[in-house]
Amino acid sequence: MNFLNKMERKFGRFAIHNLTKYIIGCYIIGYIITYTSAIFALVYSSGWPRPLLWVLAAALLPGLAL
């Protein structure tokens, strides 16, 4: 333990405080991005939102020629 104590005294000021929290936060953000992008890819690759969008646009904006 003498070596570890010596290194901590020497390089401890360069340590990142709460590093574990930052790593866990990055994992959570990455999971959310991966999960939501998978949902968007599944929905938009199926092709059903475009006809639905046109139907909604025609119903909500009847005077506007699309």
H or E element in which residue 14 lies: none
pLDDT tens column, 7-22: 999 999 999 999 999 9
Give the pLDDT confidence score for residue 1 in this predicted structure. 78
The rounded distance, in Å, linking the Cα atoms of 16 and 7 is: 15
Query: If you search the block for the tokens 């953000």, which residue do you land on?
Result: 29
H or E element in which residue 64 lies: none
What's the mean pLDDT when you consider all of the chain? 80
Query: pTM for the full model?
Result: 0.49
pLDDT tens column, 24-37: 999 999 888 877 87
